[in-house]
A and B are shown apart, each in its own frame.
Chain A
Amino acid sequence: MAESVKDKVIAIIAEQAVLEPSDVKDDASLEDLGIDSLGLVEAIFAIEETFDISVPFNANEPEKSEFDVSSISAIVSAVEKLIAEQSGS
């Protein structure tokens, strides 16, 4: 069975945080995982490359971005939404 979107996102976050994927919990924030702003933009780049999507995110005002990065589950949901919106376009 192919990896789910969630598995892939967690793998990207885990690599950035230098953790095992099993240590990346759904409710964790990026801050909890020790991912700084530079780490976040690199993770977003990896997400864009992996899913061939464009992520609307401005590091100047992350809280106003459409892309919710408040927790791992929020990121996974946002990625799933973007895939649905951008597929077949």
Chain B
Amino acid sequence: MRWRYKLPLRLRSLLRRHKAELDLSEELQFHLQNQIDEYIARGMDPQEARRAAFRSLGGVEQVKEECRDARKMNLIENFVRDARLGLRMLQRNPGFTVLVILCLTLGIGANTAVFSWVEGLLLRPYPLVSHQERLVALSGTVGEEREQTSWPDLLDVQRSCALCENVFVSSINGATLSIGERAEVVTGSIASANYFDAIGVHPVLGRGFEPGEDTGSGGHPVVVISYHLWQTRFQSDPKIIGKTQRLDNVVYTIIGVMPEGFYGTFVGRVIEFWVPVSMLEAINGSSFKLEDRGARWAESFVRLKSGVTRNQTQQEISAIAARLAVAYPASNRGHSIKVWPLWDTPFNHARELLPIFEIMVVVTMFVLLIVCANVGNLLLVQSFARRHEMTVRLAMGAGHGRLLRQLLTEGLLLAACGAAGGILMAYWCRHALALFFPDRGLYLPGQIDVRVLGLSAALGLVVTLAVGLIPAFQTRNLALADTLKTEASSVMGAGGRAWLRSTLVVLQVTLSFILLVGATLLMQSLRRIRTTSPGFSTTRVLDTWIPSVAAGYDAPRAKTFQDQLIQRVRALPGVEAAAYARVVPLGYNTFSSAPIAIDGYEPQLNEQPTADYNEVSPEYFATMGIPLIAGREFTRADDENAPRVAIVNQTMVARYWRGQNPIGQRLQVKGDWAQVVGVVKDSKYYSMEETARPFFYVPLRQYFAIEPDIHIRSTQPLQTIQKALLREVRALDPNLPLYEMITLQEQVDRSTAQQLAAVGLVALFGGLALLLASIGLYGVMSYTVSQSTRELGLRMALGADPSNVLRLVLSRGLLLTTTGIMIGVGLALLLTRLLGNLLYQVSPRDPLAFAAAFVVMAVASATACFLPAWRATRTDPIRALRAE
């Protein structure tokens, strides 16, 4: 029941503060009056009695303050007062305030942006999809390799998995969409009928799939389109539902439009349309049959029942996969099924980003630390100027705790502005990550949600503490009497403070040095990668392909088409050579791989020689610029009816023929013996970082592929060739579209995109860190100089010439830098190992990178120190001494 008495009191203290204060005064007044009366009654004179009464109470203001404390209203009231005072302080120094808030914005903004990317790409990668924490990805596995799964297997998992709420499919795919004159390949997805219900996103127009639409091959030509496609290609037609649209060579009925902001469930790409799995063969070019248990094409997800962990589900699904392997040994022996967290999804771009994110998290934390050190330093300088104010307040009876609260409140104000700025910055930068990758089709959005906001608020609090406590350090040591006297301004005398400031500068130099080393290492690695020759020409060779399967081409028709097209292309002006190849090197598609046997080569006991190979047409090596060392290229005569032939690379010769001339020798591929007719130089096949590997080529005609890439070596610019090629393709068949054309250089660039992005990001943040550290160093040095005017003036009056003064000031700044770099070298030696797999032919302890970082740091800090030092030499001795 006590609250009945307490509550009105609290409210009164809070709301009627003035009345409460008056009451308090009156109460104490009454007491004093009685005391005075008593003293007078004892015979004191009134003046004396009054003084004695005040003395006996022990300081009216102090008693009042204690009573206020007892009322417990001080917390809120003081905060408001501190905040108001803080705002006034910040307003008084707009330059300082802006600088500090800018620094904090950069620090918090960088961290928030990175976390928003982690959130948007790894943790909750699919906008609008509900309960993503219960989603996991599902893939097949063979040994350590990941693979897609087959539809019958998935149906069995869905049927028998008690812990799964849904199992659903969304496989990325492309299809040619032609509206009027314009045909283009758009990215779409083959989805199971339960897809939209399982992810909890429903069409804004029309409907999603119905359960029956999963079954019956080719029986349900219906399509759901994205909001973006609806707007751009169908002019937001409100009567779109029920209309028909050709995708590849099949006419579909549009049954739904998805909401704005839904991009499907594939990190890195925007999905524009969804067709049911029954349309698999139509979309995928008959290469897979839906009912075939061995046809592994599906990229799928599982929604777990709530409260179920991924491990539990894995156990259950493993058991199901084991049962399937027993029941269907022909298709399933050796295959298993595994679930993955979304950030580790096998079938999208998220995994490739992981190492970059690891680096970015570390780097942005470094930047934040540097920012804290920098802001702390600025506040130290600021608080030195406020020392007088603090001392006066202490003398007036404010407690140290009270001052601390004041400083923390100011820190909180600054941090709050910084956090707000940081969130704004992250919001503006949410699409910036894709800018670091050369592939313009990538869609890598950050997401700013409650958790991201929470994190930046938490960062703000940490910063508040860090930043507010640094100046508080020194109020602790304020000696009242000393500081109330106007202090003689000698900086060397202010030992403790100078020490703290120097430590902060050293910290900044150390951290930015580490970042610089990281950036240089990555740059060096990228340069190595970029200057490594891929083994084929890059700038003059163009690559594209023609999606003909979708237009209804089968092998015989494709052969005719390919022959006709290549002749037309070779006749184009500026074209030097042209050829087909099933796979373009360094691309997304993988080469064929087969067990091989070689005449005269005895494998070890456990060795099964295997090599990757490419199916290429005549003139391939001339087009690619891969030098032929011995023998001949494939010719038109090497067709289906001719004896099998192969061309091998140098590494293959070295390994399997021990360097002997292999021409005329035999090589067994997939059971067929082929005669080796040529040897070519090694080149890069999968990545620029790979080491030489055995590789061979077979004629496209003998191992036919319907949709090979076409490579064109030309002297003309890309656009000209692209237009000409499209013209030739249309002349042969107006229904055929052309895929995006790129140079092989672009292909190389895309394959090194990850390194490029890492370099870009680390260099950006490294540069930022360097700038901040330089500002910090500059601030400390110019402050030191401005405070030691007297000392410098004295030195000059005593005959020191400007160069002496310059050396004095510079040496002090450079001492700080050197200390910072020393520590930085030590830490960098430990930390650069983190870059591990991003480095190509560069040791994480590469002395050149350390030297380069050292030079950059030294130049930057020398510049930062020089200006204040130069200003010091301009000190007028007379004025400096007179100012005291």
A binds B: no
B residues lining the A interface (CB < 8 Å): none
A residues lining the B interface (CB < 8 Å): none
